[in-house]
Amino acid sequence: MKKLFYLLLFIFTVALLYGFYLELTKKQNHKRVACQEKTTTFEKIYSNTPIKEAIERLKTDNYVIESRIEYSHYMPSHLITVLTIQKANTLLETVLKSHHTHTKEFSNPLLIDYYIYENDKEDKGKKNANAKEYAGYVVFEFKLDNQLLYKIQTDYMDTNANDLEERFKCVLDSFLSL
């Protein structure tokens, strides 16, 4: 009986220590830029090589914007009543102008390709209840010479899209910090 007690105590101790080990060694998911902590944000750097050249083009107003909005399909769209692509582009241009530092001409501009997605809360394909908490998300791709350099997706939470400017700033701050 005494041996069984020591065996159980040993197994319990090993399991407890293993649990502590897993907790201490699990990967922390830190964000590169503080604003990325505010909402769910994913980013990927595809190519480091021309990043500095791309940032230079952004800072000198040498960019082209391609944009679209994907309104909800399964539920009545609220975003369609409060946001047009022209309004979104004007908002983005305002944020971009705040990063303009000087003027210089380039033959190949930076392509900023983005879309705004309205969260379709009645979509039966939603994986969990958390997928219904955000109002939508924005996805930005930064391309130079038809090469994808950087892609970022970040949620916006306000159904009236009042926090879009803040999310646009976060996207640009993230790109400029590369």
pLDDT in tens, 75-114: 999 999 999 999 999 999 999 999 999 999 999 999 999 9
Q: What is the pLDDT of residue 162?
A: 97
Least confident of 14-18, 32-36, 136-140, 158-162: 14-18
For residue 92, the surrounding DSSP H or E stretch is helix 85-97
Q: Read off the pLDDT of residues 24-68 as tens digits, 9 standing for 90 and up.
A: 665 556 789 999 999 999 999 998 889 999 999 999 999 999 999
Short-list 151, 80, 139, 90, CA closest to 114: 139
pLDDT, mean over the chain:
91
CA 162 to each of CA 2, 91, 93, 104, 125: distance values in angstroms, whole numbers, following the listed order:
67, 11, 16, 33, 27
Say if CB 119 and CB 134 are below 8 A apart: yes
Distance CA 145, CA 94 (A): 25
The answer on pLDDT for 160 being more than 60 is: yes
The structure's pTM equals 0.83
SS3 state of residue 160: coil
Distance CA 13, CA 146 (A): 57
Q: Identity (one letter) of the amino acid at 2?
A: K
